[in-house]
A = this chain, B = another copy of it.
Amino acid sequence: MQSVESNTQLWIEEIHKGVLGQRFRVRDTLFSGRSEFQTVDVVDTYGHGRMLFIDGLVMLSERDEHVYHEMIAHVPLFSHPKPRHVLVIGGGDGGTIREVVRHPYVESATLVEIDEMVVDVSRKYLKSTSCSLDDPRVTVRIEDGLAFVKHCKQKFDVVIVDSTDPIGPAAPLFGLDFYRDVKSVLAENGIVVSQGESPYYEPDWQIALAKLLAQVFPDVFFYNYHNMTYPGGLWSFSYASTGSHPLRDFKKERWHALNLETKYYDPEMHRAAFALPRAQKKALSAFINITNDDQ
């Protein structure tokens, strides 16, 4: 991440793989720190609201974070027969928890974030995402998600791995041992959804993730969402389950009963998100379930 100043304009920039730069015009720098694990920056921008950067990478903008958080939360929650206990690993900004607790039958939502600075900074500067961290059903634990699932005795219906890229502290979250432990904390019909990188820029990471999920879970899917502030715009989540199919088990009646005021997600988008670009489908086909025969 570099700050570029010229003619009184301040910009914050993410350089992707040395070939693409995405920069956002900054109104004000609200926080800039370095925790034990990573750098954390919050800026207020022209056009994209407040933005969170970790290690120089865009984590969210207020303008479009609803897409990421609606899609990482509602797809598994509406695919599970009755999600009562939800675990979020990472996601210290609180956006995923905010969407999870909109489901009234969720009895407990546990956030395990390794970096307290992310939670503290989000509580202070990103109230639109952190607003539900004090919900009485929510427990915030500052600890390593890897160790948490290894030693946890509780079972969860849905586990959401809301992590940064597989470098730095998040790297082990893209590992086989981690997902074996995740499976051990999943209850019957359990679902684990994970941040799955970009099909354009990181096809090899997607293949590696799909391959290791397929070694642990009987059913693996990928689904896509658009993030205007992530490089390339099209990004993916992985979906692995011990029994809940994301399309056949979608709970349409529950969606209609809840009447959520979403801005991106709805049942049509839920289904459409599993329609992968043909090249991505081919790249992952050895490891994932294909949702449609019309290829």
Q: Which residues of A contact B (CB under 8 A)?
A: 11, 13, 17-25, 45-48, 63-64, 67, 200-201, 224, 226-228, 230-234, 252, 255, 262-269, 271-273, 275-279, 281, 291-292, 294-295
Contact = CB atoms under 8 A, between A and B. Distances in A.
Contact of A226 (B45, B231, B233, B264): B233
Contacts of A200: 63-64, 228
Contact of A22 (B18, B21, B227, B272): B21
Contact of A266 (B24, B232, B294): B294
26 contacts: A13-B21, A18-B25, A18-B47, A19-B24, A19-B45, A19-B46, A19-B47, A20-B22, A20-B25, A21-B22, A21-B24, A64-B200, A67-B277, A226-B226, A226-B232, A228-B232, A228-B234, A255-B294, A264-B279, A266-B278, A267-B292, A268-B292, A268-B295, A269-B276, A269-B278, A272-B273
A119 B75 CA distance: 45
Instruction: Say how many copies of this protein the assembly contains.
Output: 2
A255 B278 CA distance: 14
A268 B275 contact: yes
A21 B67 CA distance: 21
Contact of A277 (B19, B269, B279): B269
Given A21-B22, A200-B228, A263-B278, 20 more contacts: A17-B47, A19-B25, A20-B47, A21-B21, A21-B23, A21-B25, A23-B23, A63-B200, A224-B226, A226-B226, A226-B277, A233-B233, A263-B279, A264-B278, A267-B292, A267-B295, A268-B294, A268-B295, A269-B277, A272-B275
Contacts of A281: 266
A40 B276 CA distance: 33
A253 to B, nearest CB: 11
Contact of A265 (B21, B227, B278): B278
Which of A25, A267, A294 is most buried by chain B, counting CB atoms within 10 A of its CB?
Answer: A294
A255 to B, nearest CB: 8
Contacts of A265: 278
B21 A46 contact: no
A158 B163 CA distance: 45
Which of A264, A269, A276 is most buried by chain B, counting CB atoms within 10 A of its CB?
Answer: A269
